[in-house]
Chains A and B, each alone.
Chain A
Amino acid sequence: MTDKTQSSIRETEIFWETMPHIQRATMPPYFYTRLQAKLAKSTQKQNSVTNQLWQQMIQPKMAAFIFTFFITIQMLIFANLQPTATLSAKSNRPTLEAFAEEYNFTFSSYNYTKK
């Protein structure tokens, strides 16, 4: 550590030693009463959200919808397997090289000048 840095640190420390100390602020009165009210509200809100969600889930209509949705997703997954097979077949189509080989044609040997 250089002398300059050390003196800067010392200066800063001296400055803060002369600074007035701060006293701790006190919480406004009846904090616990207000907290209890907030806690009750929060618990009530949490319960109502959970209950509502659960009640909706066990309704016959909702259960039927979830079941149908699940089956549809499964069907879509299985249906999508089919195009994969077609895709692999498509990938076997003749490439440019195969074409050139079949027709005895190369780009390098082709004369581009107008006849």
Chain B
Amino acid sequence: MAGTKAMTAQQQTPTAVPHKKGFWQRNRGLLFVLPWLFGFIVFKGYPFLSSLVYSFTDYNLFEGITKAGLFNYAEVFTDKKIQRAFGVTFRYAFMTVPLKLIFALFIAYILNFKIKGVKIFRTIYYIPSILGGSVAIAVLWKAIFKEDGIVNMILGFFGIQGPNWLANGSAAVFIIVLLRVWQFGSSMVIFLAALKGVPQDLYEAASLDGAGKWRQFFSITVPLITPVIFYNLVTQLVQAFQEFNGPYIITQGGPRGATTLVSLLIYNNAFKKYNMGLASAEAWVLFIVLMIFTAILQWSQKHWVYYSDED
């Protein structure tokens, strides 16, 4: 009996030893993702969770925490300035996203034709996306939209009295929407790649059946690129709700708070008033709003997004 046991142990030994020695070999991938994992935990995970904790406190950057409770969330849902910021953000997002996607798709569609010098055009249309939000862009945008700026000069040429873009609340929202729409390059590139993936034989068959360009676009192109439209819609919606650069560099949230989006409000509360607790609560409410919208979009895709591998 004992001999049998000893033999079993001996038999098991050769398999047990490589098991111990081979942990890093078998989990080599873990080694490769460690730097990222470290960065994620330190720079994303920890702030993410700590902001949740802070959101239930009155944490001030210089005075620390003195009390805890739900008061920050109560303020988010009752304070008129915060509610207004959410309202402006909704308006901004629902103006920016459709305009940007339509514009990006339109340009991508044109650039998909075999036109002479198309590569140069593709580069040119991508340039605004590289510029991003900078002081130079702020100066440019203000020069274009100031009361006696280029836009109003052109409108005046046609006998139209342009608004005071920077001083009028609705007009100011429009100019920061326009900045983001102007930077449509990344969406355009993704659309372009999708358009190139649409099989040409479908167009040829449609042409033979007498379908015009518009019909082909809406009946072939759009259905086949709905997964990409869906992807762009989700990413652009998330970006729009988190927009910061435009209002920060051009209008500083003005006039009279008309362009104070939630992200700018969070920044102001955190780094101007040092009220990290309230800023964290605002950030979490924004996060939840975004999650809800993303969930709605995810749910809705079964009704309008066509995946060719689902047939």
The answer to whether A and B belong to the same complex is no
